[in-house]
Amino acid sequence: MDSIIVRGGRQLTGEVSVGGAKNSALKLMAAALLAPATSHIDGVPDIADVDTMAEVLGYLGVRVSRQGQRLSIDASRLTGCEAPYEMVAKMRASIAVLGPLVARFGRARVAMPGGCAIGSRKIDMHIRGLEHLGAKVTLGHGSLDAVAPEGGLVGAEVTLEFPSVGATENLVMAATLARGRTVIDNVAREPEIIDLVRFLRSMGAQIEGEGTSALSIVGVRELHAAKHRVVGDRIEAGTYLVAGALGLGPVTVSGFDPAHLDLVIAKLREVGCTIEVAGDSATVSFDGRPRPVDIQTLPHPGFPTDMQAQFMTLMSVAGGGSIITENVFENRFMFAGELARMGADIRIEGHHALVKGVTHLSGAPVRSTDLRGGAALVLAGLIAQGETTVRDVHHIDRGYECFADKLAALGADIERVSCT
């Protein structure tokens, strides 16, 4: 298991560019299953979750090859329609193959994902949505079996109880090959959903409404291969903006659309940062102590839950108290206990975290509890006095390419070590 060792107190300056969005790339890979051909996806980050999705696709008989940042996905001959437990347990996003498999093959078996480090994360909306499209879904022995009716899925009207990212994606992919029109209401509006819809459209799907709260899809008989570039990773970008704020900057983060981070940028300005936005980049600089700012996570365009942990690190050294409210996941404060080991003053009350800013953090051995929590602990190490060792770095590897190297290039005193 590798660790990241950070010695705090260095000023960060320079430029860092982000890769394609993890949360888009994984779904684009699943969407490639819909066409009996070879699709090419550019700008795919070299991260562990992409490897896991490639394994899932390989298990189904799909050939996935990487040349630099391009993935070529040949889904012309499939040999199976099952995503087994070992893979789904490793990465919940494996569930994204469900919709494409039922749509193209008329059946799918996907292991039930179960809970994870940030909450119980049910998939009831995925299931109910597919049932609306005519699929018969049964659960047993830890797996979910979905079977389309004779002749394939049938278009229908579906209203989601909550704008779930995963359910929206599964249902829109399933509906592309269903007979007739499907209208999905109360859908998620994340930039990664818009990216998925654009990819599906380039494959020949007929979809309207991306970025609004309803998607209308008219099913087609077959989709064809397409080429697409993954949208820039707004969460990776946001993480480096917080790093830049903690390290005073100026730090320029490029390779993403700053409009996708509107609220995060607005909150950083409230904290006292100067942020200049130009084209596909944003530059942060900061001087002084962060002002306390309350945040509450919400579906896009609200404040992203995937930036909550990084923001808590920033608030842990603010000049006053702030309230962080997590509305998307029920249990996403796990890492706060580790941050407290570094001297942060945090009280958790249900889905609120009451953070009383302290003057400094102190370096300590800590453990990544999940992807974003792990990144937030490394950020804390950047400003802590002394040395911080962040263990269980495999969580961070799931979503950040060369995290330690990129921070080192900005001037951080950071290294990755292998522990045997």
Positions in 198-217 near ligand UD1 (CB under 6 A): none
| Contacts within 8 Å (CB) and 24+ apart, 282-285 | 282/237, 282/241, 282/252, 282/253, 282/258, 283/244, 283/249, 283/250, 283/251, 283/252, 283/253, 284/241, 284/244, 284/245, 284/249, 284/250, 284/251, 284/253, 285/244, 285/248, 285/249, 285/250, 285/251
Nearer to ligand UD1 among residue 125 and residue 207 (C-beta): 125
The size of the interface with ligand UD1 (CB under 6 A), counted in residues, is 20
Positions in 284-313 near ligand UD1 (CB under 6 A): 305-306
Closest distance to ligand UD1 from the beta carbon of 245 (Å): 21
Which of 132, 126, 130, 115 has the alpha carbon at shortest distance from 164? 126
Stretch that binds ligand UD1, among 59-67, 158-166, 343-351, 360-368 (CB under 6 A): 158-166
Closest distance to ligand UD1 from the beta carbon of 337 (Å): 20
The order of strands in the sheet holding 206-208 is 157-159, 181-185, 214-218, 206-208
Positions in 328-367 near ligand UD1 (CB under 6 A): 328-329
Residue from 26, 103, 207, 268 binding ligand UD1 (CB under 6 A) = 26
Which of 389, 377, 386, 381 has the alpha carbon at shortest distance from 412? 381
Nearer to ligand UD1 among residue 118 and residue 241 (C-beta): 118
Phi, psi of 185 (to 5 degrees): -105, 155
Nearer to ligand UD1 among residue 85 and residue 321 (C-beta): 85
Nearer to ligand UD1 among residue 164 and residue 368 (C-beta): 164
Positions in 90-129 near ligand UD1 (CB under 6 A): 93, 119, 121-126
Phi, psi of 17 (to 5 degrees): -115, 145
Give yes or no for residue 162 binding ligand UD1 (CB under 6 A): yes
Phi, psi of 28 (to 5 degrees): -65, -40
Query: What distance in Å separates the CA atoms of residue 198 and residue 202, rounded to the nearest whole number?
Result: 6
Residue from 23, 176, 182, 239 binding ligand UD1 (CB under 6 A) = 23
Query: Would residue 81 show up in a list of annotated catalytic residues for this protein?
Result: no
Q: Choosing from 116, 273, 402, 419, which is the catalytic residue?
A: 116
Q: What residue number has its CB nearest to ligand UD1?
A: 166
Please list the active-site residues: 116
Enumerate binding residues for ligand UD1 (CB under 6 A).
Answer: 23, 26, 93, 119, 121-126, 162, 164-167, 188, 305-306, 328-329
